[in-house]
A and B are shown apart, each in its own frame.
Chain A
Amino acid sequence: MDPVSTGEGQITRERGGTSRREFLVVSGGSLVAVSLFGLSACGGDDGGGTASGDVLMNLSPDVKEIVSAQVEAFNKQNPDGEVRTRITPSDTGQAFDQLRTQFQGGGSDIDVIMGDIIWPPQFAANGYIADLSERFTEADREAFIAGVITGNTYEDEIYGVPWFTDAGFLYYRRDLLEDAGFSEPPQTWDELREMAAKVQQDAGTPNGFVFTGAQYEGGTVLGLEFIRTAGGDVLDGDTVIVDTPEAIEGLAIQQSLVADGIAPEAVANFKEEEASGAFLRGDSVFMRMWPYAYDFLGDKEQSSITVEQVELTELPVASEDIPRVNVGGGFNFFINADAADPDAAYALIEYLTAPEQQKQLAIEGAYMPTRTELYDDPEIIKAVPGVRLGKEVVPATTTPPVSPYYSDMSLVMSEAFNANILGSATPEETAATLKSELESIISRGG
């Protein structure tokens, strides 16, 4: 500063100093006010929750009511620790994403994880969930459905306890088939094609067969089902076998069903709601769907057709010598590898997967149990139609490929299968593309 302004500079500095102080006071005050407001509104903090004996479990909104009641009962029985729940997104993909992000960011505070069947390999490979082989013994496992146990196994260790399962069923319009002269449901895809075409012609039903073919996890499941019902598969361990003749035939069946007009081209955009919507308003002869949709049949607000008009059966196969198969999902329980009290966590899991609780889940929520003995229980059979058929269908339920890189695989598979439905590539091309993409994933994953 030059000498002339020094005099003024001092006064100016004074003025500047005052204004700076003023400013700090004003802005500081505002920030403090805002912080207090924000902090007080933050509400229940959820850090930890894992004092010894306390267990935090994530809870999918689907099962909110039933499980909350069960947890309450458990808490009453076990006063020394408390089980709390946290509601997570209803979309399992989102719930998985959140959980995985938390783990990647350093860890999650959730002790008991309620999750989809495709989660265990992805979590186990990174050490996020605990190996349950000691607690969940071989003897215990025998009470559960074999296929689901396999899905919870990674590198020969078991990481999850099965809870409820889902399987793929073929829904069909018994009345329409009878009118067209068919007394039995189709055993092969060719038979389905023939029956659907006849009914579409005779009765004018717009759609022959609807399924979830959109570009998402459901689309992956359907693609896998077409491949497996043709006797093929996508992965055999670490080897990609999606280009075998059987797999290609499965893809060809899927494509031809759409190309021949049996399935509408719109299945490429269908998720569960759209597909079941079409069937429930009476516009489709066949549908591939999870068992939950059966519940809607009695309800006028949800469905235009009734229980008497519909029947469930297994999915058809490409040829009669191929064993029946479907691809399922379902929920299981895992324990966070960093859980503060794994014993308490496992105690909760044992309780929730016990026969009585599974029965309650089945009767009140129409969920399919994972304990094989429950499939003979008359009350459950009455309440859950899927269970009646479950005895045949459920043991034939397989799970999607077991891989720590399943997210990436599902992305490329759903895209490939979607292109297959739309006919943008031939089945051979689809298989070739998938093969190179899956091999690339496996090799990069290491």
Chain B
Amino acid sequence: MSAQPEQRNAHPTVGVYLRVAAVLVILTVLEVGVFYVPAFRPVLVPVLLVLSAAKFALVVMFYMHLRADSRVFSFLFGAPFVLAVVVLVALLFLFLGTLTLRGAAGAG
């Protein structure tokens, strides 16, 4: 019982790879640029996170071929990734909450 390969494996062309690299470089320049511009200080963190997420998505979708490959691979990567992000956010809330409570107790 030989299963037919499910993976489409239609890798992008060299031209697409080069265009993605150009976008990655531009996003990196923007990241470093907004870091040095004082006007961006109030929105620095969200802007940097969005730029970083865009770079992350481009590499994963085009260079790691998840955009065209089997959904099974997307699940194998996506599920632990989401779990890692949830753990990170939960830990930050827990520790920030502990600090806030300590601060309130100290002030009281």
Decide whether A and B are members of one complex: no
